A and B are shown apart, each in its own frame.
Chain A
Amino acid sequence: MTARTFEIQGDKVDVDARRKGDRLTLEENGETRAWSAIRVGTAEFVVRDDADSGRNHSVHAIRDDSTWWVHVDGRTYRFKAVVERGGSGGGGGSLAAPIPATVVEVLVANGERVETDQVLLVLSAMKMQLEIRAPHGGNVADLELQADDPVDGGQQLLTIVPVEEEPAAEEEAS
C-alpha cells in the first residue's frame, strides 16, 4: 500500500498506510501505529489493536467513485480520495494480487484506456480463476507481467492512471 490523500470537509489528510501479511501500519507525524487486520467479508474487516489488549474494531468500507464511506465502531465517515496526478506512489490506482497466484492471461497493455469493471488480468490460484477488474477508468501503466508469471500476494500488478475528462469530447459527441 502506498501513500494516499483523503479530503474531509475541505481538509486534506495524507495517509501512509501499509499492509504486510495481516499487519496494518500507519505512519503519522513520524510515529507508527500498528494493527492486525482480519478480512471478514466483502468490504468488511475487523481491525485489532494489539497495543490496546487486542481490542477489535468493526470496519465497513466502500468506495463510490472517489467518495469513501467508512463505518468504524458505529460511526460513519464520508470523505474523498484525492488522486495525485503523475506522482509516483500517489492515488489509489495501483492494483495488487489478493493472493499468491499465477497469471493466466493478460488482457490489456500499457497505455491502453480501460473502463470501470473491465477485466484486466486473469489469475489462477487454488485451481480457480480470478478476474482482476478495473476499479475505475483510466490508462494502464506499470504492467510488466505475462502469462504464466507467478505473483505474490500483495504484489502490484499494474496501475490505472485516471484520465482527465477532455472538455472537447462533449462537443464532438453532439
Chain B
Amino acid sequence: MSLPRRVLIANRGEIAVRIARTCHATGIEVVAVYTEPDTGSPHVLAAQRAVQVDSYTDPEALCEVAVATECDAIHPGYGFLSENPAFVRAAKAAGLVFIGPPVAAMEVMGSKTRARAAMQAAGVPVVPGTEPGTAAELVVAADELGYPVFLKAVAGGGGKGMSIVGDAEELERVYRQATDEAAKSFGDGSIFLERVVARPRHIEIQVFADTHGNTTALGERECSIQRRHQKIIEEAPSPGVSTELRQRMSEAAIAAAEAVGYVGAGTIEFLLGDNDEFFFLEMNTRLQVEHPVTEWITGLDLVRLQLEVAGGAPLPAEALQPSFTGHAIECRVYAEDPGAGHLPQAGRLMLMREPSGPGVRVDAALAEGQEIGVHFDPMLAKVSCWARDRGGAIARMREALKGYVLLGVQTNLDHLQDVLAVPAFAKGDLTTAFLDEHMSQWHSASEIPPLVAAATALADRYGAARNNSGGAVTDPWSTLGNFRLGGGDQR
C-alpha cells in the first residue's frame, strides 16, 4: 500500500480542516489553498503549507499549485469541484491522484437522466418519471403519473432546480420559470417529471469501493429533516429502517455503485415511501457533509479509507463486514434566520464557545473575530453526537447545542434545539415534510426574560463590547492579564 505523501486539499472551511486532521494523523502532509478573504482562516492554519489562489473552482490553476508544491494527490472535499469531471481530468493530466471516483462514474451519476437509465438497467428501483420534454408533452405524461408531480431540471441537484406542481395549469406556468432558471443556472434548460412519493423519508446508503473489485455498504443515514430540500439533521441508523430493509437497500446501493464502476466513497440517496418501498434519487460521488454519523457508528475514518483506496489498497475487513454500534445524530449549524425563511445571515463572530465531552464532536472552522459573509455556503459547523441508543444521542445533542455559544451572527442553534424537542422527532416519525408540518410557526426569541435583562445590564457595566479590530472584546481586564475581581482567593 502506498498512501499519498502530500495532498492538496482543494476546499475550505470545516471539510478542509477535517480532511487535514486525518492527513496529519496518517503522516501525510497537507497543502491548503485559499482566496484572499480566507487568508487567516482556520483551514489555512491547519495545513503545513498554504498557497493563495484566485478561486476555489479553477481546475487548471489548482492542479498547477499541486504540482508546484510537489503534491501527489488532490482531495476535493465536497461542493466546489468535487463532482466536476474537468477537475478529475486536469488532475490526471498533471500526474496527480484524484481522491474520488473514476471520471466515467462521476459523469454518469452527474447526469440525472443517464444515472436513471443506468440504475434501471442495473435493476435499482427509480421513482417513476418521464424523459425530458416540452410543457405540452409533460402535461400528457403527468396525467399518467398522477398529480402532484415533481418538475426537475436535468442538470439540477442538491435541492436546486426542482418544484412540486399540483395540476396542469400550474405545471405549464412553473415549467416556463423552471426551464429559464435551469438554462441560466446550469446551462441546460431540460425539464422532466417524477412521481411524488407521499410522505417519504430521505434515506441514503454510504458505499465504498476499492480498485480490487470490492464494494461495501456502511449502513444508512436518515436525512429527512430538511428545509428547502437541504438537510439540517442527519442520523444513523434510521429509526424507520429495519435490519431486513437495510439489507435490501444496501444490496441496491452496492449494485448501483458497481453498475458505474465506482471507486472510493460515495452515497446513494433513496426516497423511502410507505411499505418499505424505496427509489433511487441520485448518487453523490464524493465524501458527504454528514459522513460523521457513519464514522460514529462504524468506528471507521472515511477520509482515511479514501486515502488508502486512492493509494491502491484493498478495503479493510472492518469496512467489508462493518458492524454498527449505538446511534449518532448530526446537526448542521447555519448562519441563517429560521424564522424568516432560513435566509442566510452575515456578521462578525464576536464570541464563540464550542461544546465538547464524551460522544460529542464538532466539525467547524470558526474563530472569534471571523467575518461570516454571504459569499460561501452559510453552514458554520456540524455538531455530531453518539450514544448507545437514539434517546441518548438526542439528549447529548440537546446538551451540546445548548452549550454552543455563537454570538455576532444569527444562527439556527435555537431552532435545532426546538426541532429535537418535537415529540414526533423523539418517536422517530420523520418525513421530508417534518419541518413544514411542525416548525412553520417558529420564530426566534421575541421577549427578554428578567434574567437576560439583568445579565445584559451586568455585562454592559463591564464594557463587553466588540473592539475595532473585531477580535475578542474591549475588556479592561485583558490588558492586565489574568486576575480576578475581588482578589485571588475566590476559587
Interface residues in chain A, defined as those with a beta carbon under 8 Å from any beta carbon in chain B: 1, 4, 6, 8-9, 11, 13, 15, 17-19, 22, 24-26, 28, 33, 35, 37, 39, 42-43, 45, 47, 49, 57, 59-65, 68-79, 81, 92, 95-96, 98-99, 116-117, 126, 128, 130-133, 135-136
Which residues of B lie under 8 Å from residue A126 when comparing CB positions?
483
**Chain B residues at the A interface, C-beta cutoff of 8 Å:** 347-348, 350-351, 353, 401-403, 405-408, 410-411, 413-414, 417, 444-468, 472-480, 483-486
In the bound assembly, the distance between CA atoms of A96 and B262 in angstroms comes to: 67
Nearest-Cβ distance from residue B461 to partner chain A, whole angstroms: 6
Cβ 8 A contact of B414, one of A70, A75, A92, A131? A75
Minimal Cβ-Cβ distance residue in B for A26: B454
The answer on a CB contact under 8 Å between B474 and A133 is yes
Beyond A24-B454, A76-B413, A130-B480, whether A81 also contacts B464 by CB under 8 A is no
Contact B445 A8 (CB under 8 A): yes
Identity of the chain B residue whose Cβ is nearest the Cβ of A18 in the assembled complex: B457
List residues of chain B with CB within 8 A of the CB of A33.
Answer: 450-451, 454
Residue numbers in B under 8 Å from A9 (CB-CB): 446
**Dominant SS among interface residues on chain B:** mixed
Residue numbers in A under 8 Å from B478 (CB-CB) = 42
Q: Is the interface of A mostly helix, strand, loop or mixed?
A: strand
Known: A33-B454, A43-B351, A75-B414. A63 touches B459 (CB 8 A): yes
Closest-CB distance, B140 to chain A (whole angstroms): 50
In the complex, are the beta carbons of A60 and B407 less than 8 A apart? yes
Residues of A within 8 A of B457 (CB): 1, 4, 15, 17-19, 24, 26
Please report the C-alpha to C-alpha distance between residue A35 and residue B454 in the assembled complex, in whole angstroms: 9
5 A-B pairs with the lowest CB-CB distances in the bound complex, closest first: A74-B402, A17-B457, A61-B459, A69-B407, A43-B464
Residue of A at shortest CB range from B478? A42
Which residues does chain A contribute within 8 Å of B474, judged by CB atoms? 117, 133, 135
When distances are taken between beta carbons in the complex, the residues of chain B under 8 Å from A61 are 407, 455-456, 458-459, 464
Q: Given the known A-B contacts A6-B456, A42-B464, A92-B460, are A28 and B450 also in contact in the complex, defined by CB atoms under 8 Å?
A: yes
Within 8 Å by CB of A60, from B353, B402, B462, B484, lies B353
Complex Cα–Cα for A64 and B348 (A): 9
Give the chain A neighbours of B447 by CB distance below 8 A.
8, 11
Give Cα A6 to B348, complex, Å.
Answer: 21
Closest to A125 in B: B480
Query: Which chain A residues border B405 with CB–CB below 8 Å?
Result: 60, 71
Query: In the complex, given contacts A4-B457, A71-B351, A74-B402, what are 16 additional A-B residue pairs having Cβ atoms less than 8 angstroms apart?
Result: A1-B461, A15-B453, A15-B456, A37-B455, A42-B464, A63-B466, A64-B466, A69-B407, A70-B456, A71-B407, A72-B455, A76-B413, A81-B460, A130-B476, A130-B480, A136-B465
How far does the alpha carbon of A136 sit from the alpha carbon of B466 in the complex, in Å?
10
In the bound complex, do residue B475 and residue A76 qualify as a contact, i.e. CB atoms below 8 Å apart?
A: no
| Distance to closest chain A CB from B484 (angstroms) | 8
**Which partner residue on chain A sits nearest B418 by CB separation?**
A75
Per the bound structure, the CA–CA distance linking A43 and B462 in Å amounts to: 8
The CA of A39 and the CA of B486, in the complex, are separated in Å by 10
Q: A77-B445, A131-B476, A132-B476 are in contact. Are A62 and B453 (CB under 8 A)?
A: no
Bound complex: CA A143 to CA B474 (Å): 21
Residue from the list A64, A98, A99 in contact with B350, Cβ < 8 A: A64
B479 near A13: Cβ-Cβ < 8 Å:
no
* A69 near B454: Cβ-Cβ < 8 Å: no
Whether the Cβ atoms of B408 and A117 lie closer than 8 Å is no
Contact of B459 among A8, A28, A70, A130 (CB under 8 A): A70
Q: Which of A15, A39, A42, A78 contacts B444, CB < 8 Å?
A: A78
Question: A residues within 8 A CB of B406?
Answer: 76
Known: A62-B350, A117-B474. Contact between A13 and B459, CB under 8 A? no
Q: What residues of B have a CB within 8 angstroms of the CB of A117 in the complex?
A: 467-468, 474
List the A side residues contacting B484 at CB < 8 Å.
Answer: 39
Chain A residues near B462 (CB-CB < 8 A): 39, 43, 98
When the two chains form their complex, are residues B485 and A39 in contact, meaning their CB atoms are under 8 A apart? yes
**Candidate in B402, B417, B446, B459 with the most chain A CB atoms within 10 angstroms:** B459
A115 to chain B, nearest CB (A): 9
Chain B residue with minimal CB distance to A31? B450
Distance between B335 CB and nearest chain A CB, rounded to angstroms: 12
* Shortest Cβ distance from A59 into B: residue: B455
A-B contact pairs, 12 of them (CB 8 A): A42-B473, A43-B464, A43-B473, A65-B466, A68-B456, A73-B402, A76-B410, A79-B448, A92-B460, A98-B462, A117-B468, A126-B483
Whether A19 lies near B461 (C-beta < 8 A) is yes
Contact B454–A47 (Cβ < 8 Å): yes
Residues of chain A within 8 A (CB-CB) of B464 are 42-43, 61-63
CB-based nearest A residue for B403: A74
